[in-house]
């Protein structure tokens, strides 16, 4: 018998429209004393008064500043998306499938202290505190597009260091062909792990070694000039901008170098819909929707999706 698992990408179009964000934030509106009257006002064309992104989402007010020079090599033709959107509209199923609720539900998550484990095909397996690792790495800021498989996208100034630097530091053996990354498993603190036991927690992802050491692959520890907020994957997350967003695993606790291709969470949950490589490709539709265009979450406008999310010059040689 096939058990129907509720899927993350069930309603890609609706989830990305401002109207839907709006609805998913009913509690926000009610909390502001607006309630249904708000929808009446919106219908009268006064919707801007109720803009769900008009206030800062939880979790970004008191983050320690993080200074890093912007690397001008990585340019995006669209403006940077406001942090209110990037930190208020999230996919992070450990907390919620409701993008507008993640920030609030993740606010009290303890993302420090945080231990990182490195194991598998390495000369010396080890564990260390995330800040000890960060201190040894060269931080820079990069503005990257982020394109979710659900067909919405944002532009974010991340702060981090090349995954290639981490790989070098970890000293993998020549037998290492893949890098597997795993997120936390803390159902006591992450309500989505409690209420959605059908998902194969913890979240996990993987890259081929040539992908992991590509210059674009970034381990991210900050955004918008400060430490990464919990909702965006504190204290340490991956960003691989030429792939659909689900490859960019958040809140990593373990790096494992492997000989065999590791499994990845969404491929295990829905193999007919999500593959291992997940490179952004406008010509290959998802089984349930087109990937030809995407919705800019900031403006609601549809934009053409670019091969490899606009990063073909950096990565297309990996897939020939």
Ligand X SMILES: Nc1nc2c(c(=O)[nH]1)N[C@H]1C(S)=C(S)[C@@H](COP(=O)(O)O)O[C@H]1N2
Distance in Å, CB of 91 to Mo ion, minimum: 5
In angstroms, rounded to a whole number, what is the distance separating the alpha carbons of residues 59 and 49?
A: 23
215 and 79 in contact (C-beta within 8 Å)? no
Closest residue to ligand X, based on beta-carbon distance: 245
Which of Mo ion, ligand X, none binds 143 (CB below 5-8 Å, type-dependent)?
none
Nearest to 245 by CA among 92, 50, 24, 33: 92
**Paired tokens of 312:** 């073909």
87 binds Mo ion (CB under 5 A): no
Give the C-alpha separation, 130 to 111, whole Å.
10
Give CA–CA dist 17/215, Å, rounded: 33
Query: CB of 151: closest distance to Mo ion in angstroms?
Result: 9
CA dist 33 and 48 (Å) reads 16
156 vs 170, beta carbon nearer Mo ion: 156
Q: Which does 248 bind (CB under 5 to 8 A by kind): ligand X, Mo ion, none?
A: ligand X
Query: Can you say whether residue 193 is alpha, beta or left, with left for phi > 0 and alpha for psi between -120 and 50 degrees?
Result: alpha
Length of the chain: 320
216 binds, among Mo ion, ligand X, none (CB under 5 to 8 A by kind): none
Question: Which residue stretch of 69-77, 81-89, 90-98, 207-215 sits at the interface with Mo ion (rule: CB under 5 A)?
Answer: 90-98
* Shortest Å distance, C-beta 69 to Mo ion: 29
Binding mask 133-152 for Mo ion (x = CB under 5 A): ---------------x----
Q: Which is nearer to Mo ion, 246 or 255 (CB)?
A: 246
Residue 117's alpha-carbon distances to 100, 227, 284, in angstroms, are: 31, 21, 36
- Smallest distance, Å, CB 49 to ligand X? 26
**Is position 246 an interface residue for Mo ion (rule: CB under 5 A)?**
yes
- Partner whose footprint covers residue 203, from ligand X, Mo ion, none (CB < 5 to 8 Å by kind): ligand X
Q: Cβ 93 to ligand X, closest distance in Å?
A: 4
Q: Please write down the long-range contacts of 111-115, taking CB distance under 8 Å and 24 or more positions apart.
A: 111/230, 111/234, 111/235, 111/251, 112/234, 112/235, 114/235, 114/236, 114/253, 115/253
* Binding region for ligand X (CB under 6 A): 86, 90-94, 146, 148, 183, 203, 232-233, 245-246, 248-251
Which one of residues 38, 245, 262, 310 is an interface residue with Mo ion (CB under 5 A)?
245
| Chain positions contacting Mo ion, by CB under 5 A | 91, 148, 245-246
């Amino acid at each position: 018998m096939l058990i129907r698992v509720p899927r993350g990408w069930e309603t890609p179009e609706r989830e990305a429209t401002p109207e839907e964000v709006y609805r998913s934030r009913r509690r926000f509106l009610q909390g502001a004393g607006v309630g249904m009257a708000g929808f009446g006002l919106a219908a009268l064309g006064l919707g801007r008064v109720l803009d769900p992104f008009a206030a800062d989402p939880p979790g970004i007010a008191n983050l320690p500043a993080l200074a890093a020079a912007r690397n001008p090599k990585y340019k995006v033709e669209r403006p940077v998306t406001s942090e209110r959107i990037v930190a208020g509209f999230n996919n992070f199923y450990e907390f919620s499938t409701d993008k507008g609720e993640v920030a609030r539900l993740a606010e009290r998550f303890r993302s420090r202290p945080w231990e990182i484990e490195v194991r598998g095909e390495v000369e010396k397996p080890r564990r260390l505190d995330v800040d000890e690792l960060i201190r040894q790495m060269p931080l820079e800021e990069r503005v990257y597009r982020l394109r979710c498989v659900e067909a919405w996208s944002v532009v974010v100034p991340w702060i981090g260091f090349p995954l290639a630097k981490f790989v070098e530091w970890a000293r993998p053996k020549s037998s290492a062909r893949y890098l597997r990354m795993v997120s936390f498993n803390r159902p006591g603190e992450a309500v989505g792990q409690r209420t959605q036991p059908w998902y194969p927690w913890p979240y996990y992802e993987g890259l081929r070694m040539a992908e992991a050491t590509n210059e674009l692959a970034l381990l991210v520890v900050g955004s918008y000039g400060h430490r990464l907020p919990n909702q965006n994957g504190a204290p340490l997350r991956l960003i691989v901008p030429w792939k659909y967003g689900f490859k960019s695993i958040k809140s990593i606790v373990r790096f494992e170098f492997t000989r065999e291709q590791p499994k990845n969470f969404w491929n295990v949950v829905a193999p007919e819909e999500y593959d291992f490589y997940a490179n952004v490709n406008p010509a290959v539709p998802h089984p349930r929707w087109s990937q030809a265009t995407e919705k800019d979450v900031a403006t609601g406008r549809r934009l053409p999706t670019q091969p490899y999310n606009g990063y073909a010059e950096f990565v297309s040689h990996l897939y020939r």
